[in-house]
Amino acid sequence: MNRSAGKESEAHPIVGVSKAIRDVLHLADNVAVSDCCVLIEGDSGTGKELLARRIWRKSRRSGCAFIPVNCAGISESLFESQFFGHVRGAFTGAEQNMLGLVRTADGGTIFLDEVGEIPLHLQPKLLRVLQNQEVMPVGKPIPVKVDTRFIAGTNRNLRDMVNHGEFRQDLFYRLNVVRIVIPPLRDRPEDVPVLLEHFVSLNAGRYDREEIAIDRDIRLCLAEYPWPGNVRELASWVERLYATGLQPEILTEMLLAESDSSRPSPEMMSLNQVERRAIVQAMEHTNYNQRQAARMLQVHRATLARKLKKHDLT
């Protein structure tokens, strides 16, 4: 079995061996060769943009632009201008012509990240582009033809939003030509070990250090952890190993303690014990330099001083 199913490039790999992720990649590769709209659903941190980039990279449009757009970050008042462009003088502050995102991606692909966040009253404007492949720049009431492929991503259930009147049904059907659902990491624990290996190797190069060894017990523990932040959380955990210099055992205990502390638990002392051990190890690692230890633990120096006193480590 291929260790990293669908590793499309060294820069942007999608790593996994589970049947679930292999099915996702197989479907993505099949639709890449067409120009149809694709709707990618998945929790935050599952890799929706990576999958969209894979589709673009394997399509006939790979020689042209791939433009990711955070729909939640688009200003309502500037939506048309940012998406469709404007001509000079169209409104106050429009000092020059602007193509807009759709025309900038002409010949290529736009990824509408968190498409469910587009306000309801603006959705018909996007629908028009999808249906007619033309935009109407602000200040120029003449449609301009475009050749842009659209891929949408969301961590919400758009069908439920349609049922609740929060998303237009016609736009949903236009986007939902092919629907790909990326399962959360907790549902494919067999991917955790290969993801760990991938991120360890990646960060060893990034930090110019030897690869950090993670023993079998820690790997098993991490495979059982639910990873609410999905692959992004796992990537951050591995990078923390290199950034802090703390041992995998300590960071694993901290991870589990933080998870436990988010739920009612009578065993809060375990969090204090983990915190104390982390502080001790950071102090030892930095030869008891409080400024460096605070930086390693990602806390303010004054916070570290208080915690040293709290744990009777002064």
Supply the CATH number for residue 86's domain.
Answer: 3.40.50.300
215 assigned to some structural domain:
yes
Domain that holds residue 76: 19-183
Listed residues 122, 150, 183: the one ending a domain: 183
Residues 219 and 179 in one domain: no
Averaged pLDDT, 146-156: 96
Q: Is residue 92 part of a domain?
A: yes
The structure tokens 């092919």 sit at 178
In a domain, 64, yes or no: yes
**For the chain, how big is the Rg over CA atoms in Å?**
24
Q: Work out the average pLDDT over 124-145.
A: 86
Residue 94 · residue 133 · CB < 8 Å: no
Residue predicted with more confidence, 78 or 178 = 178
- 201 and 147 in a single domain? The answer is no
Give every CB contact of residue 78 below 8 A, 6+ residues apart in sequence. Answer: none
State the DSSP H helix or E strand holding residue 110, giving kind and residue range, or none if neither: strand 109-113
Are 95 and 228 members of one domain?
no
**Mean pLDDT for the stretch of residues 83-102:** 70
Q: Are residue 179 and residue 270 in the same domain, yes or no?
A: no
Other C-beta atoms lying within 10 Å of the C-beta of residue 255? 18
Is there a single domain that holds both residue 177 and residue 210? Answer: no
Q: Are residues 199 and 174 in the same domain?
A: no
Least confident of 74-78, 241-245, 271-275: 271-275
* Pair 175, 229 in one domain: no
Q: What is the value of pTM for the model shown?
A: 0.77
What is the chain's mean pLDDT, rounded? 86
Does 264 have pLDDT greater than 50?
no
Instruction: Give a yes or no: residue 12 inside a domain.
Output: no
| Overall domain count for the chain | 2
